[in-house]
Amino acid sequence: MENFPPASGRDLSEHYVKELVENMVEHGMRVIQLQAPEMIRWHFSPEGKIKNADLDWLETSADGTVAFDAFRLDELVRQCDETGKPWDLSYMVYINSLLDPGYSAFKKAFPDRFKGQTAREGHWYQDYYAQEMMGLLKKHLEKKGWQNRFVLKISDEPAGFDFWWNRFHAGRARGRHAVHDLFQQHRLERGGEGARLGGGLAAAVYVL
């Protein structure tokens, strides 16, 4: 446990979470965006000391060098689920809440982790570091049985479908993540090399 020090703060107490979710549920909302300080944390051990850690809230890479710490995330889901009863709630996490806490530290700790791999173009969400991090989130959701209750949001009001597809989606396809496009039920028409939307583009999200 010395590898996983406690988070520095808990700005959202259970009392405030309860009040917020009660209000949202009373007004018919069933999808909750989860976002709190240190909701997701990352731990790195170049020596591989966190291999096979037997903790319900932790997922580790096969070599024991990378750990996805979902302690706070799991606690928020528990609080929201209990408050939302009898309704079944779903959750959305913004991709920056997943990657920003650890992406730079991951690359710094293991600069040669993917040496020799084919270089990837486009947004950094598509690179091997981001893919491994998202893979650990997916592993955790599957373990908890939450894979159909979570959406990982990657973009808000992108410049256009082709822009989103080419820059953001390719890496997720390589990682075999299911993809769901939220276009406010607007019709998508494909023609030739491009695509156009029958209406305004609202958002684009990944479903893990």
User: Using one digit for the tens of pLDDT, what is the confidence trace for 68-115?
Assistant: 999 999 999 999 999 999 999 999 998 888 998 899 999 999 999 999
Q: Note whether residue 47 is domain-resident.
A: yes
What's residue 45's pLDDT? Answer: 94
Q: Note whether residue 123 is domain-resident.
A: yes
What's residue 40's pLDDT? Answer: 94
What's residue 20's pLDDT? Answer: 87
What's residue 182's pLDDT? Answer: 44
Number of domains in the chain: 1
Residue 116: give the domain boundaries. Answer: 14-206
What's residue 8's pLDDT? Answer: 52
Q: Note whether residue 5 is domain-resident.
A: no
Q: Note whether residue 137 is domain-resident.
A: yes
User: Using one digit for the tens of pLDDT, what is the confidence trace for 22-34?
Assistant: 888 988 889 999 9
User: Using one digit for the tens of pLDDT, what is the confidence trace for 34-48?
Assistant: 988 889 999 999 999
> Phi/psi zone of residue 123: left (φ > 0), alpha (ψ -120 to 50 degrees), beta?
beta
Residues 6 or more apart whose CB falls under 8 angstroms from that of 201 comprise: 157, 158, 160, 161, 164, 183, 186
Q: Note whether residue 3 is domain-resident.
A: no
